[in-house]
């Protein structure tokens, strides 16, 4: 297993990447710690205002029904959708995969099945090849994990277990059924940060063109 190297800010960059971690429920502190180790500024998100000025967002594992109810209670749904519609990336892990599917927030054209590999007693770890993360496999920790049961043509499958999709990507939305924050392999978070960097650069190019046309 080859963990990703920390990513320092680019020369001349005004600020570090600000990556939000939805803190309604789940192990958001472990995600924040991993993001910090990569050079990002993690931000715990509990309100719609907390999503402002973010470069990316993690929706962590936990219990999908509890997280969904918290999103509804706190009025976070429109702000999360606006974040995605603005082209800023989201990493949904375990329950976060379910929360992002077409039956919930509708951020990815896919349907996730809860507890697809059995309940906690059937949790497991596996060496998993994930497309785009290099030749070394990821040590993937599955706990009451979901899986993708159906997806549209715009969704790319990045990894499978027993031929079932367990990591997918649609544009800058990345979903995985496992818990990348529970190992020392930071490549899933590094992927999110790379997508966030690309989104920021796109925004800066648009702003520059608009300024030139003004």
Tell me which residues are annotated as active site. 94, 179, 181
| Dist. CA 36–CA 7, nearest whole Å | 10
Q: Tell me which residue of 116, 119, 123 sits closest to 101, measured CA to CA.
A: 116
Neighbour tally for 31: CB within 10 Å: 30
Helix (H, G, I), strand (E, B) or coil at 95: helix
**How buried is residue 168: exposed, middle or buried, by Cβ count under 10 Å (0-12/13-18/19+)?**
buried
* CB contact set of 41 (below 8 Å; sequence gap of 6+): 15, 16, 17, 18, 19, 35
The answer to whether residues 31 and 58 touch, using CB atoms and an 8 Å cutoff, is yes
């Amino acid at each position: 297993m080859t963990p990703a190297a920390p990513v320092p800010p680019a020369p001349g960059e005004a600020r570090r990447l600000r990556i939000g971690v939805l803190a309604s429920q789940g192990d958001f502190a472990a995600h924040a710690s991993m993001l910090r180790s990569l050079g990002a500024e993690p931000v715990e998100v509990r309100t719609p205002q907390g999503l402002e000025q973010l470069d990316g967002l993690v929706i962590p594992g936990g219990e999908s029904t509890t997280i969904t109810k918290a999103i509804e209670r706190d009025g976070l749904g429109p702000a999360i959708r606006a974040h995605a519609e603005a082209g800023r990336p989201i990493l949904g892990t375990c329950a976060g995969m379910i929360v992002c599917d077409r039956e919930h927030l509708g951020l990815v054209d896919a349907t996730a099945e809860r507890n697809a590999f059995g309940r906690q007693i059937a949790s497991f770890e596996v060496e998993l090849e994930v497309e785009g993360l290099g030749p070394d496999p990821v040590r993937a920790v599955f706990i009451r994990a979901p899986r993708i049961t159906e997806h549209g043509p715009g969704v790319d499958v990045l990894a499978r277990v027993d031929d079932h999709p367990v990591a997918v990507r649609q544009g800058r939305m990345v979903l995985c059924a496992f818990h990348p924050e529970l190992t020392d392999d930071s490549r899933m978070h590094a992927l999110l940060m790379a997508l966030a960097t690309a989104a920021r650069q796109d925004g800066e190019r648009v702003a520059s063109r608009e300024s030139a046309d003004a």
